[in-house]
Amino acid sequence: MRSLGTRRVALAAGAAMAAVIALAGCSAGQVAETALLKAPTSGLNTQSPDGTLLIRNLQVAYNSPAGYPANGTAPLQVSLFNQTEQPMTVTISSRPQTDVTPGIVSAQQVGVGALAPSAEPSPSAAPPSAPALEPAKFTIPPLGTQIFNPGTGKNLVAVGLTNDLKPGYSLALTVQANDGEALDVLAPFQIPTSPASRAPGNTDENTESE
């Protein structure tokens, strides 16, 4: 009969062998469950009340810690998926907020067009004219997709912000598919993928004195 110490050694050896086998299985092509997980996004994921329109990664594009000023223009990012076998007309707007809620901003217009130039004009130059916008109303083909990414093709923008729109705030939007029920959503301000740059420090602080 084995002693208690001998049995403990045998159990430990068995556990070590099981770990070796598990590692060998992973190296042979098995994928760990955590490897299948996708990185989280900061955008809103939702759908129309009838489920025919999927709204993915809806958010206000990040520009800087200061965000966008009142009366300014903010580009939006979103992916829209038509779940039906018929063309779908989607309209995006921004309703004025009846109740003033801190951190919630609306816009006078939501449209599709080019982004305004970001460069600051010289004092003697005439101010640049606002880019022409089409109404944010478009048709998605059957089982099709409509994607808006700032700086690529036509942009989805909110014009005439009612207040400053900055990190931690949200933009109030209304999305309607065909003539269905309108869906009120809040597009959050995008979380940057890297921290904001800090003010330059003393260039001599990391140098050794001779």
How far, in Å, CA of 105 to CA of 99, rounded?
11
Q: What is the pLDDT of residues 6-19, one digit of tens each?
A: 444 444 445 444 44
Stretch 102-112: mean pLDDT: 96
> Which is higher by pLDDT, 143 or 129?
143
DSSP character at residue 103:
T
Domain that holds residue 153: 44-116+132-188
User: What residue ranges in the chain does DSSP mark as E strands?
Assistant: 44-47, 53-60, 73-82, 88-93, 104-105, 107-113, 133-135, 137-140, 145-148, 155-161, 170-177, 183-188
In-domain check, residue 205: no
In-domain check, residue 123: no
Amino acid at 121: P
83 CB-near residues (< 8 Å, 6+ apart)? 51, 52, 53, 54, 143
Question: Would the pLDDT of 122 be above 50?
Answer: no
| CATH number, position 136 | 2.60.40.1890
Per the structure, the count of domains in the chain is 1
DSSP character at residue 9:
H
Q: What is the mean pLDDT of the chain?
A: 78
> Which is higher by pLDDT, 80 or 42?
80
Q: What is the pLDDT of residues 41-50, one digit of tens each?
A: 679 999 999 9
In-domain check, residue 96: yes
